[in-house]
Chains A and B, each alone.
Chain A
Amino acid sequence: MRYLDEFADPSVALRLVEQIREDATRPWTVMEVCGGQTHSLVRNGIDQLLAGAVEFVHGPGCPVCVTPLETIDRALAIASRPEVTLCSFGDMLRVPGSHADLFAVRARGGDVRVVYSPLDALGVAEAEPEREVVFFAVGFETTAPANAMAVVRARELGIKNFSMIVSHVLVPPAMAAVLSSPARRVEGFLAAGHVCTVMGTRQYDSIVEQFHVPVVVAGFEALDLLDATSRVVAQLEAGEARLENAYTRAVGRAGNERAQQVLDEVFEVCDRTWRGIGHIPASGWRLSPRYRDYDAELRFDVGDVRAEEAPDCRAGEVLQGLVNPDQCTSFGTTCTPRNPLGATMVSSEGACAAYYRYRRSGVATSAPAHG
């Protein structure tokens, strides 16, 4: 099948692994930004195959993981209201707030539904006009256009019983924050391919220039990741720092300009608190004044919500690439997917969940990079 077999061909992959190992004169530290890439790397065992040549540190690119606890708590409060139907991507249901998760709200009678697209949530609002339908709009630039379209359509159709909890975050400011950290370890980036399909590659020009760091746009299949990694290593070995695109079958320099227009119209840039990382200026999107009447947090007054993180959780350091999940003493002991301390253990894209799932046995954790 197209795009499944071609990009997982073991013989090509092993040639790339050999090439990277030959090229690397010392171990390089490379961050893959996107949680989907983290899972693909670990699921395919690529991090082990490259151990000693490349150490992958896992970036903040899991939207579930970085959504602040306060936002989760506000969503739980809104979902608990009797008139509200809260629609969410499935991942968000298990993310713990301070005291509960959306599954628990549902078990107590809250109307919480899993949808695959914000337009499905809009469909619910249209079909059930007596309900207040709220869509939990999280994600990076990837999911933002569809979320923006949902409010545009709601306005076109005159659907009043629809609103969104918007907690969008942006990749480039997060990369800049990682690179600005005094504890910076990251020497090169695999940039998130799907974000770039929307925003284009040009948004990374300033990062490459300002921080003198190689950025290679990568896809998600095994060969995509190996190809992009080999290019990062080649740049590092040559002392270069350039922007390269290793995902040309999906990504262009300009990105999807029509989507960008909709984003400009519906959203405006705002400061965001990233769960585990902290406040990053100009790192998110909220609804622009034109669309503010679709903001669920304004429509439903849930009061002042403040939240405290579990003190033992090192998700913040994991998200910044300062530690790998198995270096946390809570990992696999007091923190498991069943009883997660932090969101990185919850989401299928979270680095801790990826490690828990794929890296627990002695045989499988033998890679020196993750000792």
Chain B
Amino acid sequence: MRRHMADGAGAEPAEPTPVDPAAWSCPVPLQDHDRVILGHGGGGVLTAELIEQVLLPAFGTVEAAAPGRDSALVRLERDVSDGAVTLAFSTDSYVVQPLFFPGGSIGDLAVNGTVNDLAMSGAVPLALSCALILEEGLEVAVLRRVAEAMGRAARAAGVTIVAGDTKVVGRGSADGLYVTTSGIGAVAAGCQIGPERARVGDLVVCSGPVGEHGIAVMSVREGIDFGTRVASDTAPLSGLVQAMLRACPGGRGEGIHALRDPTRGGIAMVLCDIAEASQVGVELAEPAVPVPDAVRAACGFLGLDALEIANEGKLVAFVAREVAPAVLDAMRAHEHGRSSVVVGEVTGDHPGLVVARTALGGSRVLDRPLGEQLPRIC
């Protein structure tokens, strides 16, 4: 039906075609919608129109998402030995406001976030799904910009968006649009990375300056000007992780014990998680953590701690001391790891706790942030 009408709307003078009563339905006049209406989520013509005209061209995955299929097929063509396949599988929902912010958009986050979650298991991302919840009244141009950002991010990460779903909820029932992406990735045989695998003696490596994403979003959300523009660091880290794995003896990441991307809760959160999961102590050299001046200024102004601010394009790695130099070299040679630096080490003291050594030589316990970050009064 849809094709029939799409053809009918074309400019070519078509031969009169015989009417097929079985295919006939009420000819809803196709029109260009500049805003999402409830019917776009109804699963009918309007939904198909949205998918074909907005999403698929932006994602660039027309043939993978063959029309009429209820599920996408993903072929594993990568290194799978011994008959055992380890897949990484992750899902995440994105509700950020505003939808666009310096350095990126909800679309970039939706792809990079899930790609990075896969990468932190050492996986090569294979395929993503994308579920959209749209609020009635959303401008289609906004959706198109988000979808195009997703397509660009997916291409940059070398991953394909192969399945999706679109729902529309009434005005006021959502905040513009929400995106949920799920992803699968293949883990090379022999690669074992996990938060419980940190060992005493490991060095803690951070792939670059922290706090940019959280401050970028906060600055536009709250309309606060910090003097310098801070842009989100959103980036796919799968390439960086693969470079790190290859730098290890054997090329499969032996010596890289734990990887995490410090999103909400910042590096404080992931260091605490790993210290607890591995039951080791972490000594963080606070002055070694790279914090951009603008992030520091914003944190001072708002009473926040840069170590607790979200990042979307950084990773923290726990690496065996003997392989750390090679891993660091590989990181610094990669575009998303140029400023990689050792920020701490793992100790047998105070298992389960992270202790930060301050610039003055004092120390403090680093804790997980409690919940929402609350700017203080004065």
Contacts and interface: CB of A to CB of B under 8 A. Distances in A.
Interface of A: 1, 4, 8, 10, 13-14, 17, 36, 42-49, 63-64, 89-94, 114, 116, 138-140, 142-143, 194, 222, 337-338, 347-349, 356-364
A76 B376 CA distance: 19
A364 B359 contact: no
B53 interface: no
Most chain A CB neighbours (cut-off 10 Å) among B302, B358, B373, B377: B377
B258 interface: no
Interface string B301-332: 01100000000000000000000000000000
Interface string B355-373: 1001111111101001111
Contact of A337 (B349, B365, B370): B370
B35 interface: no
B250 interface: no
B224 to A, nearest CB: 7
A49 B361 contact: yes
A267 to B, nearest CB: 17
Given A4-B297, A90-B375, A348-B303, A363 B360 contact: no
Contacts, number: 111
A13 B360 contact: yes
Contact of B358 (A45, A94, A116, A139): A45
Given A1-B293, A44-B359, A45-B362, A356 B367 contact: yes
Sorted from nearest, which 10 A-B pairs have the closest CB atoms?
A45-B362, A90-B374, A358-B364, A1-B293, A89-B377, A142-B378, A90-B375, A348-B376, A361-B353, A45-B358
Given A10-B287, A45-B358, A360-B365, 10 more contacts: A4-B300, A46-B360, A48-B363, A49-B361, A143-B377, A347-B376, A357-B367, A358-B365, A363-B353, A364-B355
A136 B325 CA distance: 54
Given A1-B296, A360-B353, A363-B355, A143 B378 contact: yes
A360 B378 CA distance: 25
21 contacts: A13-B359, A36-B303, A43-B358, A44-B358, A44-B359, A45-B358, A45-B360, A45-B364, A63-B378, A64-B377, A90-B374, A90-B376, A92-B377, A114-B375, A116-B222, A143-B377, A349-B376, A357-B364, A360-B353, A363-B350, A363-B353
Nearest to A138: B377
Nearest to A356: B367
B359 A93 contact: no
B362 A46 contact: yes
Contacts of B373: 90
Given A4-B300, A357-B365, A49 B375 contact: no
B370 A338 contact: yes
Contacts of B374: 90-91, 93-94, 114, 348
B378 A139 contact: yes
Interface string B116-145: 000000000000000000000000000000
A140 B365 CA distance: 29
A64 B358 CA distance: 27
Most chain A CB neighbours (cut-off 10 Å) among B224, B293, B300, B374: B374
Most chain B CB neighbours (cut-off 10 Å) among A1, A63, A356, A361: A361
Contact of B375 (A43, A89, A94, A364): A89
B358 A140 contact: no
B362 to A, nearest CB: 1
A51 to B, nearest CB: 10
Given A116-B224, A338-B370, A42 B377 contact: no
Contacts of B296: 1, 4
Interface string B279-304: 00000000100000100110010110
Nearest to A367: B362
A17 B358 CA distance: 14
A72 to B, nearest CB: 14
Nearest to B300: A4
Given A46-B360, A89-B377, A138-B377, A4 B365 contact: no
A36 B350 CA distance: 28
A90 B372 CA distance: 9
B293 A4 contact: yes
A91 B376 contact: yes
B362 A44 contact: yes
Contact of B359 (A10, A63, A64): A10
A1 B371 CA distance: 30
B104 to A, nearest CB: 24
A88 to B, nearest CB: 9
B360 A49 contact: yes
A140 B378 CA distance: 9
Contacts of B303: 36, 348
Contacts of A17: 360
B47 to A, nearest CB: 33
A45 B377 contact: no
A64 B224 CA distance: 23
A359 B362 CA distance: 11
Nearest to A48: B362
A91 B362 contact: no
Contacts of A48: 362-363
B356 to A, nearest CB: 9
A349 B377 contact: yes
B229 to A, nearest CB: 15
A267 B363 CA distance: 43
